[in-house]
Amino acid sequence: MRNSIILFLAIFSSIVSGKTRFPFFQIEFEYDEQDSWEGMCQIGTQQSPIDIPDDEYICDDTLVFDFTLLNETKPIIIEDDGESFKAEYTDSKLYASDINGILTAYQSLNFHFHSPSEHEIDGESYDLELHFLHSITHNFLEKGLTKKLFAAVSIMFEVDDSADANPFIAALNLTKLNTPLNLNVNSLLMSQLPSPIPFYTYQGSVTTPPCLEIVNWYIVTTPLKITRSQLKVFKKRFSGNSTFADGDGNNRETQPVNGRTIKKGGVVCEEQFIYFFSFVIIFIVANYVVLKLL
């Protein structure tokens, strides 16, 4: 337990003080040289991101996914850290169960973007992916129930030419970085998500070197809409910039699933629906018979 706490404190300290999203050992890397990334990147068996097959998951409506953002206006600074547009953000809390049903509480560290998306769903890539990175709380770290010290909530965005400008992306004012913005992230973002939030979850890794396999991932299945003009600022900096990773973007390529369990929550599972439907049919038939006997 002591070694786990020391590891966590070292990682946590490097996160809050470093320049990158996961600067655990300050490993330098380039997105166009992913075959030579160091650490666990080439040898790990639980690497992220992945392509989530839409027909090979386990439906589990017992999964807990309580993702909350502080409903308060606070100053936020968006910066270009050389790899992403990122904001230090500590006003998100996550209380969620992993694929094994272990409940854990997390506190957010930051949010950042990838363009195009890192994760794919049934082979489909999205225009933009937003990650909210959370670290395990001290109380749950001491319990020692999980080796996954972090949780990442992923939200996809896709261009819709008929959609209005996305209020969350618009409020970030990405053409003027490093300027304090007074934002209520909750009101700007959470109102766009369904309730309950449908999601996939699996156990994986950090998506930058050293690719440590210490992350519980939660992928929101409902993509949000953005306009083509809103995507331009991301493409100009990352996925359409020939001087950045040859214009391929700031996303890691999808990794092998390697037989990992993927679960889907926030939905009514088919088994329950069939049970409910059968109950309704029986109820209707029973009432019909009763009425005929009267």
User: Distance between CA 118 and CA 99 in Å, rounded?
Assistant: 21
User: Distance between CA 47 and CA 37 in Å, rounded?
Assistant: 13
Query: Could you tell me the pLDDT band of residue 270, with boundaries at 50, 70 and 90?
Result: confident
Asked, for residue 188, whether it belongs to a domain, the answer is yes
pLDDT at position 25 over 60: no
Identify the three-state secondary structure at position 20.
Answer: coil
Mean predicted confidence (pLDDT) in 114-128: 97
User: Distance between CA 197 and CA 32 in Å, rounded?
Assistant: 34
The residue range of the domain holding 46 is: 2-269
CATH classification of the domain holding 30: 3.10.200.10
Asked, for residue 166, whether it belongs to a domain, the answer is yes
Predicted local distance difference test score (pLDDT) of residue 14: 47
Asked, for residue 274, whether it belongs to a domain, the answer is no
Predicted local distance difference test score (pLDDT) of residue 1: 39
User: Distance between CA 116 and CA 223 in Å, rounded?
Assistant: 13
Q: Return the closest-CA partner of residue 40 out of 155, 283, 212, 249.
A: 212
User: Distance between CA 121 and CA 118 in Å, rounded?
Assistant: 10
- The predicted-structure confidence for 218-240, as pLDDT tens digits, reads as follows 999 999 999 999 999 999 999 99
Asked, for residue 26, whether it belongs to a domain, the answer is yes
Q: Return the closest-CA partner of residue 157 out of 186, 193, 191.
A: 193
Which amino acid does the sequence have at 60? D
Q: What is the pTM of this model?
A: 0.86
The owner of tokens 């440590």 is 212
Work out how many domains the chain is built from and give that number: 1
Computed over every residue of the chain, the mean pLDDT equals 87
Asked, for residue 278, whether it belongs to a domain, the answer is no
Predicted local distance difference test score (pLDDT) of residue 173: 95
Does an H or E element contain 93, and which?
A: strand 92-97
Asked, for residue 279, whether it belongs to a domain, the answer is no
Asked, for residue 294, whether it belongs to a domain, the answer is no
Higher pLDDT, 104 or 289: 104
Phi and psi at residue 96, in whole multiples of 5°?
Answer: -145, 155
